[in-house]
Amino acid sequence: MKYLTNWQISYQKRVVDASEALNVYLANGDRIFIGTGCGEPQHLLRELRAVLPEYQELEFVQGLSLGLNPVAEQCYERRCRLRSFFVSGETREAIQEGRADYAPVYQSRIPDLFKKGFVPIDLALIQVSPPDQHGFCSLGVSVDIVKAAIKSARTVIAQVNRYMPRVLGDTFVHFSEIDVFVEQDEPLVEMILPTQSAVAERIAGYVIKLIEDGSTIQVGMGRLLNSVLVNLKDKKDLGVHSEFLSDAHLHLVKAGVITGKKKSIHKGKMIASF
């Protein structure tokens, strides 16, 4: 017979379905934060799409969007508006047409916007791994500005997904910091790497000449920057201190190119937020 601990009993009381969670906690005029990139809570966003016509004057705040983002769709223009900290393929058209706003800001400054009330969050929609034996969930593949949103939001709704890996580092959130749990397992959103191009390859050839062995690199995303990473295969003992990691980083680790041995801090470790 399985006995539940006190935290498990409390956790079970917070588990509801997505439609009920949104019905109780979403209100007209709310500012809603959506989790970043591959950590987007797809199930919550699908349910959000279904109820959006019932609400008005909603503002959505998000970093990188890779998946289902109904907020940027034209049919919801009069119901809500997106404020994005990153222009992605999913949001570019809406921003160009004036249906969404781009807020240019250093990623490192965004947490202060939440914490100091410059961009207050009413509701945060995030995705986590199931809690461990001590009640800690992991934000998994996407931490970045999500932790700040959790600590600042009036209400936090989390999709609990067994596909979300438990990642070490500053990724853990105790269940007590989350108001409502929606249990739904599904594959995570994947970031599809762009195909290489002759122009990108040629530019990358010039860039890699500027990178010395033992350098610590920060590389963004996109076709050109992915080409730069791919062409670093002959370098030695590179370190990584960056906002995100991709498959190209993984290949360099397996090849022994990225070791972090020469880093001045966090020696031997890659540091990233998503």
* CB burial readout 204-239, b (16+ within 10 A) else e: beeebeeeeeeebbebebebbbbbbbbbbeebeebb
> How many alpha carbons lie under 13 Å from residue 264 in its C-beta half-sphere?
3
Q: How far is the CA of 241 from the CAs of 32, 41, 255, 258, in angstroms? A: 29, 26, 18, 11
Catalytic residues: 243
Cα gap 67→115, rounded to integer Å: 27
Q: Supply the angle between the helices 223-230 and 198-207 in degrees, to the nearest 10.
A: 60
Cα gap 94→75, rounded to integer Å: 11
Joined together, the tokens standing for residue 256 give 């022994």
